[in-house]
Each structure stands twice: as structure tokens, then as C-alpha cells.
Chain A
Amino acid sequence: MNSTATTDGTARGRFRGADWEAQQRRVTVTVLILPVILMTVLFLVPLGYLVWLSFGGPNGPNINSYKQLTAPVYLNLAYFTLQLAFFVTVACAVIAYPLAYLLANIESAISRFMILSLLISLSLSVLARTYSWIIILQRNGVVNDILQGAGLTSQPLSLVYNQTGVYIGMIHILLPYMVMTLYPTMRAIDSSLVRSALSLGATPWTAFRRIYFPLSLSGLVSGSILVFMMAIGFFVTPAILGGGQANTIVMAIQNQVQVLVDLPLAAATSVVLLLVSLLILVVYEKIAGVERIFGKGRR
């Protein structure tokens, strides 16, 4: 008799539980409908159209456009773009790491001011920031005035309308993204970990190398991925500061659309670019998956 009562109670409890779960599911579904519709209409449909176009569109399906992309001119463009993105990323990492370290570890009005400046610069238009580099770097600009005034150079250096200008401009524009990814990771590293390493006999360098750096690595990797992906797709800065000497793959897409009017080719180029970005993300996901386990014990 007793057991009957228990079974009965349990059954009723389970029924109530199921009811609650069903209700939860209904809420979840309702809330998700709008984003799913938006994603489909604004993202998946255009993407599908792009892929369809890249395989010849109405004349298709063929892989003529992809074949065209294997021409040396495109391979060179791709090579240059990857190389540009790579060096910009490395430069950003090298500059941002000590900068973020100082910002994260030194409490002062200056570091707060610098973080604010970085945030503000992120909100400024890339176009404005790029044009301001022309003023700074041009033949009679500030930098050349200073260099000549100090007697370091006799001739004005050509710092803009070439690859140098593109590097300077892109590093400048992408640096805040690297700092802002590194900063929170470094803030999250408990300072007692490094102290504890020191008390255990590690020199400051060993403590950095074996404790601090590995724990900041996830931020460095995320920042690098972010900067690299942005650098691959950068258009404004290389177009304005490059003076035709720093043509990237995105500039080629513009050319394909506006000059060659070859939409399938432009679509194919875009698809390849997208795949490269996806590949990087997958690699990142692999690394971040490991990092997530690492990061769990962080306080």
C-alpha cells in the first residue's frame, strides 16, 4: 500500500516536471523565432545566392570562375594579402602584449586614460583614421619634418602611398582590437599566481614564461585570430595608403565588380575568402577548446 502511494506521488511529480519542461521549451522556441528568421533572410539567403553565383549563376553550374582564380595574378594577390595580414598580426601582438600587460597590472590614472583612449579610437571611423595618417606621413608631413629637422635624413622619406604606409596604418587601426582582447585575459590572471611562483623559487623570467604567459595565451590567440581575419578583409586602408603598391584580395573583388563586371568571379573570390576565414575559426575553436579547460581554474 505504501509503495503504491509512493509510485503515485512520483508519477504525479514527473508529470508536473514534464509540463514545466514543455513550457520552458515553448518559451525558448518563441524567443528564438525572430533571430532565426533574421539570420535566414539577412545572412543565409544572400550567402546561398553568393555561392550559386560563384558557380556560374544562371549559366551554371560550372567552376570556370574558380579556375580563373588560379591565375598567377590572383595567387600573387592572395599571397600578398596573407603576408600583409600575417605581419600586421605579429606586429600588433608584439606591440600590444607589453602594452596590455602594463594596462592590466599597473593601477594608475594614466592606464585608465589609455584604456579610454583605446576605446574611443575603436569608435572612430576607419576612414578618418586612415586619412589622418596621410597628413602625418606625407612628404611634408609631421614625421618627415621632425626627421629632417633633427638632421636624421636629408631627403623626405616616402612613408605613404606604398606598403610602408599600409603597414603603419593597418597596425594602428588594428592594434586596439589586440589590446582589448588581451587586456581582460590578463586582468583575469590572479596576481598571487606569479607571486606564488616566485615564492617557490622561480625567477621573474621563469615565472613569466611558465605561469603568466601560458595563462595569457588564450587572449593572445583570440586577439591574433581577430586581427588576422580583419586584416585579410581590410579594404579602406590599403586602398588609400597603398598608392596601388599594396593591392589586396578585397581590392581585387572591387575591381572584378566595378571594372571587369564579372560577378561570378567576384563571388568565387568572396567564397574562397570566406572559406579561409572559416578555416581559421575552426583552428581557433580547436585551440580555444583546450584553452577553456585551462581557463576554468582561473579566478
Chain B
Amino acid sequence: MTLSTSAASAGTSAKGDSGTGPTVGGGVGVSFDKLSKKYGNTHAVDGFDLTVAPSEFLSILGPSGSGKTTVLMLIAGFVSPTSGRLLLGDEDISRIPPYKRNIGVVFQNYALFPHLDVRRNVAFPLEVRGLSQDEIRRKVAWALDRVHMGQFADRRISQLSGGQQQRVALARAIVFEPRALLMDEPLAALDRNLRVDMQHEIRSLQRSLGQTVIYVTHDQEEALNLSDRVAVMNHGRLQQVDAPKNLYLRPANPFVAGFFGEANLIRGSAESGVFTTEHGVRLPVTGNVSGKAVLCVRPEMVVFGEPQQPDFPMLQGKVVETRYRGSVLHIVLDTPLGQIRSVQHINTTNTEPAEGTIMQFGWDPELGHLMVQE
């Protein structure tokens, strides 16, 4: 399996003091070293190898049951790994109990203490650390201010809306200056508009604090919006770790390609710049993959009409379905490559082709993306 861990991968050893406690104005890196967790015969997390840089915003994205929560629980220390190591900065924390890890966690259901008011909730991590009343008051005010909840300090938790509870949970998780901040689908329970607002706030908070954030979500839009890098998981395994743009344009395998948006996946084999489909159609490709491969062509890369370059492959397809969706027109074609989906932006010049129309179509070989077939 190909893992492209190109972007920010080094950097844990850069901070000398990273293991000694909360670093003011910045988190530390988190490294997974072949970390695995088995439940009976289920590999909830399988051979996780990943380095999160200090102050990086990394999302873990995957379908339900892919092991995202288990990864977070491993980092937080509520689940012990079956094998492998976990490093926080350069300290091995695999065997350290959760309350000594200094990692902030925002739970999906917020997990605010219902018998304490907002102020006491946020003060909790400071009280158990034995800070002075004065310091506690100052830091709680600071944290509540950061999430715009200053005027709600005396409210009971049950008197807050979902979005406000979310903010309090966030304030409580950052108030003790944790070495890293973990969030498990923190916005899943909020309605759409609020979710977008909170995304912005979480991102700007993370930037200004220089906090290392590991953010679990099953919402790809959220992951792409927020993250420096996204780690895509499936069946407990890392599929790809990359910057949002690369995940779309350069997916590592068919799963990732299918996970981010629509993709035409064409099976076949590649050799020296030529891709031969299962049906024997030969297409020019770029990239140095050889052997069994899958060609990924995004629907919006499909163009119609005359070839624009000499080496532009043009094929014929029969329109089987057309559909308007907002500002775009979806066209499905029956072609020698199988069904090909395309998306065209609607403008004044293009018209909807009738079903059964034979059309010339193709794509820029530079944009087609070749993946090794597993």
C-alpha cells in the first residue's frame, strides 16, 4: 500500500523541552509507531504509522467503524495498545495513565459535568492541578473569553444550547494548556450553519494557540476545511495521509478516490505511459505506475467536443442520463470504458444533450490519476 506522507512529517525532535509539560503557545508532536489495537478478532486499529507535527491540525477521516474513535482513545490513554508505541513529543506515553498525559479531549457528547456550572467545569482541570484561586480565576476568564462564553460563566450546563456547550467543552480542554488537543466528531450534533461557524472558530483558535489538534470526523467537507493534513482510515488501516488538495487530485488508492467526491475508476494495466483497460482500450497516461492499475478520472475533468491537444484521447459515448444539480449538469455516458460520469458547469452556451446522443469526450492525460491496484 502506498502511503504518501509527504507534507509536514518531521519536526518532533525540533522542540527540546517537548516532553516536560505544557508548552506555552504551542503543542508538541504526536507519533504513532506501528500502533495496533485488537478487540478479539477485530483489528480496530491496525499498524498505525504516522507523525503529527507540533501545531499541526490533522483530521482523521473515515467511515463509521473504521477505528477513528479507537485512535483517539489510544492517544488519550483510555485504551491500551495491543502492540506498537505512541510518542508525545519524544516521550513514550504508551504506558502512562490518562490523567498524567496532559492531553485535552473534547468528547462527541461534550461530557460536561452536569452538577457544576460553566465556571466550575472550566476550572476543574486547574483545581485538580492545585493552582491558586487567583490563577484559576484568571485562566478560566481567559479560556471562556477565547470561546466567547465569558457572560455565561454562572450558567448551569442544562441552560446552554448545543453550540454553547460545545464552546464550554472547548474552553475546558484548552484551559490547562494541554500538549495536544483531541476532538471526536465535536460538531456532529450541531446544525449545519452552526457547524460552519464553529469550524472557523476552532481553526482560528488552533492557529492562535499553536495547538496540535487531532480531529476525528466522518464529514469530508469538515476535514478538508479545517486541516493541514487529513489521515484517511478504513477498516482500522491508514489509507493515505495528505494535504486536502492532494487527496482529491492524487488519491493513493481507489478507496480514497471514491471517498472524496465522485470518481470514474477504470481498471486495467499500465506500461510505459500507456494504460490498457480491461476491454482493450488504450489510453495515454502520465506517472510511472506499471502493472495492474486503476485510472481515476474526476467527472469535472471530462470534456466534450473536439480534441484540444494532439495527444488528447477522444472517445465516443452515448448519453444515458442527464440531471441538473444546482449550477452543474451531470451527464452519464455509456462508453467502451464502461459508464462514465461527467459534470459540466452550466453557462449560456452549453445545452442539455438529449438521451441517446452520441458524444465525443475525453480528458487531459495530465489530469487522469493512475493508482496501483491492490
Q: For the complex, what is the distance from the CA of A201 to the CA of B178, rounded to whole Å?
A: 10
Does B156 reach chain A (CB closer than 8 Å)? yes
Does A48 reach chain B (CB closer than 8 Å)? no
In the complex, which residues 171-203 of chain B have their Cβ closer than 8 Å to any Cβ of chain A? 172-173, 176
Query: Which B residues are in CB contact (< 8 Å) with A211?
Result: 113
Q: Are A199 and B104 in contact (CB under 8 A)?
A: yes
Q: Which of B99, B105, B115, B172 contacts A294 (CB 8 A)?
A: B115
Query: Which B residues are in CB contact (< 8 Å) with A204?
Result: 99
Contact A297-B158, Cβ < 8 Å, known A190-B109, A195-B107, A202-B124: yes
Does A173 reach chain B (CB closer than 8 Å)? no
Query: Which A residues are in CB contact (< 8 Å) with B115?
Result: 214-215, 294, 297
Does B257 reach chain A (CB closer than 8 Å)? no
Interface size on B, residues (CB 8 A): 29
Q: For the complex, what is the distance from the CA of A196 to the CA of B113, rounded to whole Å?
A: 9
Q: For the complex, what is the distance from the CA of A298 to the CA of B156, rounded to whole Å?
A: 12
Query: Which A residues are in CB contact (< 8 Å) with B99?
Result: 198-204, 207
Q: Tell me, rounded to whole Å, the shortest Cβ–Cβ distance linking A31 to chain B.
A: 32
Does A156 reach chain B (CB closer than 8 Å)? no
Q: Are B98 and A198 in contact (CB under 8 A)?
A: yes
Query: Which B residues are in CB contact (< 8 Å) with A201?
Result: 99-100, 102, 125, 128-129, 176
Q: Tell me, rounded to whole Å, the shortest Cβ–Cβ distance linking B247 to chain A.
A: 30
Q: Tell me, rounded to whole Å, the shortest Cβ–Cβ distance linking A239 to chain B.
A: 43
Q: Which of A196, A202, A295 contacts B111 (CB 8 A)?
A: A196
Does A299 reach chain B (CB closer than 8 Å)? yes
Does B52 reach chain A (CB closer than 8 Å)? no
In the complex, which residues 109-129 of chain B have their Cβ closer than 8 Å to any Cβ of chain A? 109, 111-115, 124-125, 128-129
Query: Which A residues are in CB contact (< 8 Å) with B97?
Result: 198
Query: Which B residues are in CB contact (< 8 Å) with A210?
Result: 124, 128
Chain A proximity mask over B50-82: 1 for CB below 8 Å, otherwise 0: 000000000000000000000000001110000
* Residue of A whose beta carbon sits closest to that of B125: A200
Q: Tell me, rounded to whole Å, the shortest Cβ–Cβ distance linking B157 to chain A.
A: 5
Q: Tell me, rounded to whole Å, the shortest Cβ–Cβ distance linking B28 to chain A.
A: 16
Q: Tell me, rounded to whole Å, the shortest Cβ–Cβ distance linking A246 to chain B.
A: 40
In the complex, which residues 139-168 of chain B have their Cβ closer than 8 Å to any Cβ of chain A? 156-158
Q: Are A192 and B107 in contact (CB under 8 A)?
A: yes
Does A296 reach chain B (CB closer than 8 Å)? yes
Does A293 reach chain B (CB closer than 8 Å)? yes
Q: Are A294 and B111 in contact (CB under 8 A)?
A: no
Q: Are B124 and A193 in contact (CB under 8 A)?
A: no
Q: For the complex, what is the distance from the CA of A139 to the CA of B14, rounded to whole Å?
A: 77
Pick from A198, A201, A215 the residue with the most CB of B within 10 Å. Answer: A201
* Residue of A whose beta carbon sits closest to that of B106: A196
In the complex, which residues 190-248 of chain A have their Cβ closer than 8 Å to any Cβ of chain B? 190, 192-193, 195-204, 206-207, 210-211, 214-215
Q: Are A297 and B176 in contact (CB under 8 A)?
A: no
Query: Which B residues are in CB contact (< 8 Å) with A206?
Result: 128
Listed by A's residue number, 11 A-B pairs whose Cβ atoms lie within 8 Å are A192-B107, A197-B113, A198-B99, A199-B98, A199-B105, A200-B124, A201-B100, A201-B129, A211-B113, A214-B115, A296-B156
Besides the known contacts A203-B128, A297-B156, 15 further A-B residue pairs in the complex with CB atoms under 8 A apart = A192-B107, A193-B113, A196-B113, A199-B99, A199-B101, A199-B104, A200-B104, A201-B129, A204-B99, A210-B124, A293-B156, A294-B114, A295-B114, A297-B157, A299-B109
Q: Which 4 A-B pairs have the closest CB atoms?
A: A297-B114, A196-B111, A200-B125, A296-B158
